[in-house]
Structure 1
Amino acid sequence: MILISCRSIKNHNEQITKLHDVVDLHKDIDKVYNQLKRHHPKLYQYTSKKVLDFKFDSLKKAITTPIDSREFYKRLAPVVAQVKQGHVSLGSANKWHTKKERKKLLKNKFEFYALDFEYLENKLWVKSTRGKDSTIVGSEVVKIEDDLISDLVNVYKTRFASDGYNTTLHNRYMGRHFSNFYYKDKGTVDSLRVTFKNKDSLFIKTFRRLQKKEKPKKKDSTKTKKRIKLTSAEKKANRLAFKKERKFRRKHGYIKKYKEYTRNFRFMETDKDVAYMKLRSFTNGNYKRFYKESFAKLDSAKTKYLVLDLRDNGGGRIAEIDYLYSYLTQVDYKFIEDSEVNSRVPFLKFLMSNTTSNSIKVLSGIVSPIIVVQNLIRTRKRDGKLYYRFRQTKVKAPKPLHFTGEIYVLINGSSFSASSLISTHLKATKRATFVGEETGGAYNGTVAGIYKIYELPNTKLKIRMGMMQIEAPQKQEPDGYGIKPDVEILPTVSDRKLKKDTELDWVIQDIKNKR
């Protein structure tokens, strides 16, 4: 198995670095387009078939000489982005590492990846750092090596899409994922020479790949430390404390990389009249326990105002946002419509992709009769189209402890997918006041649910696409735009430097005015 694994890694690396024949490149272009046609139920929602046909044909005509997989990614990604569906994305072909190489990489850290960026006022800024040098926080990034940031950003923005025609996602996404885009563009590097600007002065800093320092073990030859023996009561207290901490982290969704929580709740005043709930995503953790406890506190305190912060929330589970909405609405509701699909057995198609491991395929094959029956029961044909029915299509009543006060929702361009879907409900029913900027996710829904990940046979690039149209019953015209704020507030660089939260400040002032 080890020999086969090493050979597989070697073959993959040779495949992505060699120059591919033009014929093979054209085949991979056709494979991408055919996969989209087969599995994406709303392929021509924002870009017509005529235009997409032209884009893919033009790419084939433009590629007349052999190129490697990385260069092919740079050519193909902008064409895939023309679908204008945010859940459709093309991954670059990256080098695979042996176990020995991975071990070595884990012992190193690249200083540049410790920086967190934000793209504001058409400039890239250092928002924060997980490294030791905090002096560069608040500085503008002007150049990396000889490349101007403005040139890099203009190119990178063509390689991904939001849902529809809105552009707010691009700036937010660019800031948060700039390091990833740079890696896809340039590959692994051992050092980077970066030019910064702070006020009116320019300075250069070189970031390197450094070996992680191991903590030295303290040795004291003169004294031998005796192991402290804990009593039964102390051991029990430690176990309880550990369980309590683990329970808290699961409930709030602990993010180890940033040492922060996915779900956060607090009262903003001593009289508990105003509450603040920050949700970074709808992914990890025990969400039911968190919302039950939070809304029980709101009910007990008779809180009048709730601030729901969905800024930079990229989405997550439909089940979670449906559960959350049951605490926010005051009337019976239907959360989503039946999802349009391209197959009667969408889950089987998802499991049998060429990127699925053989073990999962074997297991899927064994339980396939159950999957097929379940899919067929939930899939119906209507008006010549196939639809899959989720549990969230049923009409439900609000939770007994649902919030009856006034709601403010903070949104921005990185409010995407599931966070846009719940925002659609709150906006359509006039249940909340929206503050910030237009969401990157569309008001009229998105193609997500489950994802098909397909690897191209020659270049080894991977394309990911949603397979289900997920949408709320409410719609807006024109299609292709996000949830727009009632009060538009765009943060500035000076706000960030002064650590001002202008959106939240406006809400607090508005509550004061109402009082």
Structure 2
Amino acid sequence: MKIGRVILIVSVLVVFGRLTAPAQLLTPAQTHADLTFLKRKLDMLHPGMGYYTSEARMEQLYDSLYNRLTDPMDYLAFYRHVSPLVTAIKDGHTNLNHRKSYIGRTTRFIPFYIRPVGDQYFISHNVSPDTTLRRGTELLTINGRPVADLHRELMNADHSGSDGDNLTGRRQWSLVQFADYYAAWYGSADSIRITYRFPDDTLIRHTSLRCPTLNGFRAVLHKRYRHEISNRPNLSVRIVDTLTQTAVLRVSTFMGLKKTDPLQLAFNRELKKAFRQLRKDNVQNLIVDMQGNGGGIVLNSARLLRYWMPKPFTIMQHEEMKRAARAELVTRWNPLSALNFSLHYRQDKRGGFASRSGHKRFRPRQRLAFRGNLYFLMNGASFSATTSVLAKTLDAGLGTFVGEASGSAYWGDFAGHFKTVTLPNSRIQVRIPLKKLYHAVDPGRANGFTVEPDFVVTRSYDDLMTNRDYILDYTLRLIRDGVVVRPGLDKPALKTRPLQASR
């Protein structure tokens, strides 16, 4: 993943960090009350309780956690204690977050980015004062613990961005945000001790490093790696191979381009501009780069699909929510909200609510429609609305998928609207999705639990050292070799054959 794609992620992770106020000690009565409060809210609101983990297992886990709260507990220990109840839901949209102001200007983070190659972990970007820790240095331990063990623990402690038993989202985010995950789970520290090994060297070395604040991290990152920071805006188009008439459309998010644009007109304009450029340049092979795209507004994902879907389509086939969720959607300050809710939802047999028939249908674009070969770059951080695009495209029999499995399920997810609850004593926050959303896809056309790649691509050591976008590089080789799995509507079917050289 390019460094420019993760700078914003690091900048906005203000929910992760260290407690800047004196340590809070919670009594057993307080921790019992908080855990009970959370369980009640999850049972009332979350539409996925019992879906990936049985309700009986959730009850057993809750009882076990509750019964172990016998002594006073500090804030961070309780945060870790609550985590298993949230992660057991196995929903990538359900997030356990630290309380407000848990992070401050003095919070300090591990001073590098870590990237894996096989079973080894290497420093890819170093912002510490020790400039000898160059790219390709193998990182062995942090504070006496193997990096592999730390990564495994952090990956299991947070299910954000990964549905069900899928591992790609958890693996991707816990590495891209390793410093943030580390601070969230273990607390911030002024310094760390590491052991490491230089490239082409067998000697294991050790040193202590001071950890920078977020501002310090960003300042050094920009200074040392300025030439690697990608400034490509969302929905940007670039020609990458004139011989094969190949272009890359970067779709980094489905969130709106402007805060004051409820109809998402700016997104729609930029999308139209991009496909107008593709038509002008006579592009025959379009690479849609959605690596690291965590999703956003479903309307915008539908607008993208309009440019290659062959027939009118819907994104979601069905929506469900629990009875208590209605109170979160119908508000006193909006007198029209009750009417709007009644128009879109009806009470179901289980006492909750289900969407009425007649979901919004989208008509394909005609004049600017793309009819060539589609290639999708994807990884575990391709989540939520991004998986919706991938699932609908796969269902339509289009596209060649390259990289790794997406973070969300092919069938749909738990999302739509959210309620953030704050535990009364610890003030820990949990974001709870309110809707169960079913994609309008044929289950028989799935190629796995998520949308799976046709070609799995992993990072090599050379990719690490050159900071190469290895998934894009592999896809360009596929195109040059004439490899296509599902050709465009105006293209004849080609025989699929693997590349001779593999990663």
Which category describes the TM-score, using the shorter chain as reference length? 0.7 to 0.9
Task: Choose from 458, 471, 481 the match for 2:438.
Answer: 471
Q: Quick one: which amino acid aligns to residue 136 of structure 2?
A: G
In 2, the alpha carbon distance for the partners of 1:476 and 1:186 equals 41
What is the percent sequence identity of the aligned residues?
Answer: 22
- Alpha-carbon contact 2:250-2:288 (below 8 Å) kept: yes
Match of 2:185 in 1: 185
Q: Secondary structure at the match of 1:334?
A: coil
- 1:374 matched to 2:340: yes
In 1, the alpha carbon distance for the partners of 2:91 and 2:422 equals 19
- Alpha-carbon contact 1:268-1:275 (below 8 Å) kept: yes
Task: Choose from 267, 278, 283 the match for 1:303.
Answer: 283
Correspondences of 1:339-418 after superposition (within 5 Å): 339-343=319-323, 346=326, 349=328, 365=332, 367-384=333-350, 385-388=352-355, 393-400=359-366, 401-418=368-385
- The alpha carbon displacement at 1:146 in A equals 3.2
In 2, the alpha carbon distance for the partners of 1:311 and 1:88 equals 21
Match of 1:496 in 2: 464
Q: Secondary structure at the match of 1:328?
A: coil
- Alpha-carbon contact 1:350-1:451 (below 8 Å) kept: no
- Alpha-carbon contact 1:117-1:128 (below 8 Å) kept: yes
- The alpha carbon displacement at 1:18 in A equals 3.1
**CA displacement 1:48-76 (0-9 Å, x = unmatched):** 11111111111112222111121011111
- 1:63 matched to 2:60: no
- 1:334 matched to 2:314: yes
**CA displacement 1:342-363 (0-9 Å, x = unmatched):** 24864x5169xxxxxxxxxxxx
- Alpha-carbon contact 1:274-1:305 (below 8 Å) kept: yes
- Alpha-carbon contact 1:89-1:465 (below 8 Å) kept: yes
- The alpha carbon displacement at 1:339 in A equals 1.7
Match of 1:158 in 2: 156
**CA displacement 1:240-261 (0-9 Å, x = unmatched):** xxxxxxxxxxxxxxxxx97553
- The alpha carbon displacement at 1:136 in A equals 2.7
Task: Choose from 228, 239, 242 the match for 1:267.
Answer: 239
- Alpha-carbon contact 2:347-2:353 (below 8 Å) kept: yes
Instruction: Rate the CA distance shift 1:189–1:259 in 2: closer, same or farther, 3 A.
Output: farther
In 1, the alpha carbon distance for the partners of 2:325 and 2:305 equals 29
In 2, the alpha carbon distance for the partners of 1:507 and 1:212 equals 36
Correspondences of 1:56-455 after superposition (within 5 Å): 56-93=62-99, 95=101, 105=105, 112=110, 115-129=112-126, 133=131, 135-161=133-159, 162-199=162-199, 200-201=202-203, 202-209=205-212, 261-270=233-242, 273-285=245-257, 286-343=266-323, 346=326, 349=328, 365=332, 367-384=333-350, 385-388=352-355, 393-400=359-366, 401-455=368-422
- The alpha carbon displacement at 1:390 in A equals 11
Instruction: Rate the CA distance shift 1:57–1:426 in 2: closer, same or farther, 3 A.
Output: same
Q: Which runs of 5+ in 2 are unaligned?
A: 1-18, 217-228, 258-265, 484-503
Instruction: Rate the CA distance shift 1:512–1:154 in 2: closer, same or farther, 3 A.
Output: closer
- The alpha carbon displacement at 1:42 in A equals 2.0
Please give the TM-score of this superposition, normalised by the length of structure 1. 0.76
- Alpha-carbon contact 1:268-1:274 (below 8 Å) kept: yes
Higher fraction of helix: 1
Q: Secondary structure at the match of 2:335?
A: helix
Instruction: Rate the CA distance shift 1:291–1:386 in 2: closer, same or farther, 3 A.
Output: same
Instruction: Rate the CA distance shift 1:122–1:206 in 2: closer, same or farther, 3 A.
Output: same
- Alpha-carbon contact 1:120-1:171 (below 8 Å) kept: no
- Alpha-carbon contact 2:20-2:102 (below 8 Å) kept: no
Cα RMSD after superposing both structures? 3.1
Match of 1:31 in 2: 37
In 1, the alpha carbon distance for the partners of 2:56 and 2:107 equals 47
How many positions carry a matched residue from both structures? 436
Which deviates more from structure 2 when the two are superposed, residues 370-379 or residues 458-467? 370-379
- Alpha-carbon contact 2:20-2:107 (below 8 Å) kept: no
Which deviates more from structure 2 when the two are superposed, residues 30-39 or residues 478-487? 478-487
Instruction: Rate the CA distance shift 1:261–1:300 in 2: closer, same or farther, 3 A.
Output: closer
Q: Secondary structure at the match of 1:125?
A: strand
In 2, the alpha carbon distance for the partners of 1:173 and 1:454 equals 23
Instruction: Rate the CA distance shift 1:293–1:95 in 2: closer, same or farther, 3 A.
Output: closer
- Alpha-carbon contact 2:306-2:364 (below 8 Å) kept: yes
- Alpha-carbon contact 2:128-2:211 (below 8 Å) kept: no
In 2, the alpha carbon distance for the partners of 1:212 and 1:368 equals 40
**CA displacement 1:383-430 (0-9 Å, x = unmatched):** 544124699x32221012111111011112221111111100111111
- Alpha-carbon contact 2:155-2:174 (below 8 Å) kept: yes
In 1, the alpha carbon distance for the partners of 2:406 and 2:399 equals 15
Please give the TM-score of this superposition, normalised by the length of structure 2. 0.78
- Alpha-carbon contact 2:46-2:433 (below 8 Å) kept: yes
